[in-house]
Chains A and B, each alone.
Chain A
Amino acid sequence: MIRFEKVTKTYKDKKAIENIDLEIKHGEFVSIVGVSGAGKSTLLKLIFGEEKVDEGKLYIDDIDIASLADEDIPYLRRKIGIVFQDMKLLPKKTAYENVAFAMEVAGYPKDKITHDVSKILDIVGLKDKTHNFPDEMSGGEKQRVAIARALAHKPVLLIADEPTGNLDEVNSFEILDLLQKINQLGTTVLLATHARDLVNKIQKRVITMDKGRISMEQAKGHYKL
């Protein structure tokens, strides 16, 4: 579903990623590892249209990303759920409202939002935190809300950029379990991380990046640098 063909992205003379060839299929769980500045985030940003490809081609479901107009980007993002290390929740909204927000901006009617949001909060295990504000939740719970929000559009692809970066070990593994569960339900998951233990536990495809290039690919990989 995602295909990079010799993709290069340059920020002010510095090549953030260089000459990347990569294909990710539907339903895969792919971990992208590497030190900070290796190009993991840039790779993800290219996929959800936050950054534009400078050289090469990037296809998502056989659509050339470069051919999309700015007005089309929002519709691309409704196919992709995105989760960040800093969660990006709205502090003045409850868990429910944070998730509902994603559906509101896409123009869903209220009754569908009510129905879907409670279902999604149930999937991520936050049924009893529905009306809590982010301040009243633990880091792990907040990240679950963020994941729930990313799932609101029933995305075909979930991108998680360092989702456990601010979490302790127990919470990290719980988030990982959740991501694997989502993957089992059919969503492709792309996880960028530093966390060695997580990657070793997943036992799935690992892509190691170094200085903007793919330095290693393993089908059932471990975290190695």
Chain B
Amino acid sequence: MESIALFRVIKTGATNFYRNFWLSATATLIMVITLAILTLTLVTFNITSVAIQNIQERVDISVYFKTQVSEQQILDIRSELEQLPEIASIKYVSAAEALASFKEKHSDNQLIQDSLGQLTDNPLPPTLQVKAKSLDEYPKIAEELSKSNYAAFIDKVNFQDNRSVIERLSRILSAVKRLGVGMAVVFCFIAILVIFNTIRLTIFNRREEVEIMKLVGATNWYIRWPFIIESIFYAIAASIITILLTIPIFNYLLPRLNIYLGTNLTSNTWGFNLWIIFAIQLATALILGIISSTIAIRRYLRI
């Protein structure tokens, strides 16, 4: 008996949804806009975060040693440097390794391969690649290295200061966060109002039916739930439309981002996973729908 009642409640909710098609279309559309803004914010936020992380990972100090410095001397310097509190890690790249990786990197360039073949000596110096614990330490470390008593062994300290880029990205990140969250809040509010109004109109259109339902002994949940079901239909429809819009945008965007940022983002990467994004959209839509229908029912459905 309960399952029949449940089926009838859902059926009534579905009838409410398609009986006033244009009203339902408007409610769904405004929800799609809200979800799209939310998704856009989320994705922009994720992209900026990935970009910052990516650039931060690429920042390091390369210490090029003079070719006559022995490997043992370099390793001794490394262990001394590792004692410094501001240094996170130091990687030693020998001259041979540097050459091998250079060859590999330019394996398809015949000219470089040819000129390398004519050399008898390895032209590349051994290197230490230093990573600091925080970005702000880099200039200090670079300066100290070039001044220290190791200076005699060092050919060149190479440090590219990416801090201004990172700072700019961080500013974008916080702007995205503020603007996105602000817009999302405003549109959530609009969506709640629109759905509230739609449910209110449905209640108004069905007031006779509701009155009769009460008379013939319909339980309160049997009267109320079709209106909540109606808003759940809006939520499901809106999330499906939004995710269908998101998929092609992702397919277009991710490969280009990967080239630009040198990342390997796929639609399985956390933060870009379509299922997770769909789940977030659906959850948001359901919360908005249930909030607005509940308010409408409380205000306009006298039981």
Contacts and interface: CB of A to CB of B under 8 A. Distances in A.
Interface of A: 48, 70-71, 74-78, 82, 88, 90, 101-102, 104-110, 149, 152-153
A149 B212 CA distance: 10
B209 A106 contact: no
B220 A101 contact: no
B208 A105 contact: no
A46 B75 CA distance: 96
Interface stretch (B1-9, B35-43, B111-119, B191-199): B1-9
A111 to B, nearest CB: 11
A38 B98 CA distance: 106
A77 B215 contact: yes
A106 B215 CA distance: 11
B297 to A, nearest CB: 15
B209 A71 contact: no
A139 B157 CA distance: 101
B209 to A, nearest CB: 6
Nearest to B212: A88
B107 to A, nearest CB: 74
A107 B212 contact: no
Given A77-B215, A88-B212, A90-B208, A71 B220 contact: yes
A90 B220 contact: no
B8 A104 contact: yes
Nearest to A98: B212
A74 B213 CA distance: 9
B211, B212, B214, B217: most-surrounded residue (chain A CB, <10 A): B217
Contacts of A109: 1, 4
Interface in B2-41: 2, 4-5, 8
A77 B216 contact: yes
B219 interface: yes
Interface of B: 1-2, 4-5, 8, 208-209, 211-220, 222, 303
A198 to B, nearest CB: 23
B209 A90 contact: yes
B207 to A, nearest CB: 11
Contacts of B214: 74, 77
Contacts of A104: 8
Contact of A105 (B2, B211, B213, B303): B213
A109 B211 CA distance: 23
A106 B220 contact: no
A101 B212 contact: yes
Given A48-B215, A88-B215, A107-B1, 12 more contacts: A70-B220, A71-B219, A74-B219, A76-B217, A77-B214, A78-B217, A101-B216, A102-B212, A105-B213, A107-B2, A107-B4, A107-B8
Given A88-B211, A88-B212, A90-B208, A105 B218 contact: yes
Contacts of A149: 216
Contacts of B215: 48, 77, 82, 88
Nearest to A83: B215
Contact of A106 (B212, B218, B303): B218
Given A70-B220, A106-B218, A90 B4 contact: no
Contact of A75 (B208, B209, B217): B217
Nearest to B220: A71
A74 B212 contact: no
A23 to B, nearest CB: 25
Given A107-B2, A107-B4, A107-B5, A102 B209 contact: no
28 contacts: A48-B215, A70-B220, A74-B219, A75-B217, A77-B214, A77-B215, A77-B217, A78-B217, A82-B215, A88-B211, A88-B215, A90-B208, A90-B209, A90-B212, A101-B213, A102-B212, A102-B216, A104-B8, A105-B216, A105-B218, A106-B218, A107-B1, A107-B2, A107-B5, A108-B1, A109-B4, A110-B4, A152-B216
B8 A74 contact: no
The 6 closest A-B CB pairs, nearest first, are A105-B218, A77-B217, A102-B216, A78-B217, A107-B5, A107-B1
B119 to A, nearest CB: 90
Nearest to A75: B217
A221 B245 CA distance: 75
B216 to A, nearest CB: 4
Nearest to A88: B212
A110 B3 CA distance: 12
Contact of A153 (B4, B208, B216): B216
A149 B219 CA distance: 17
Contacts of A71: 219-220
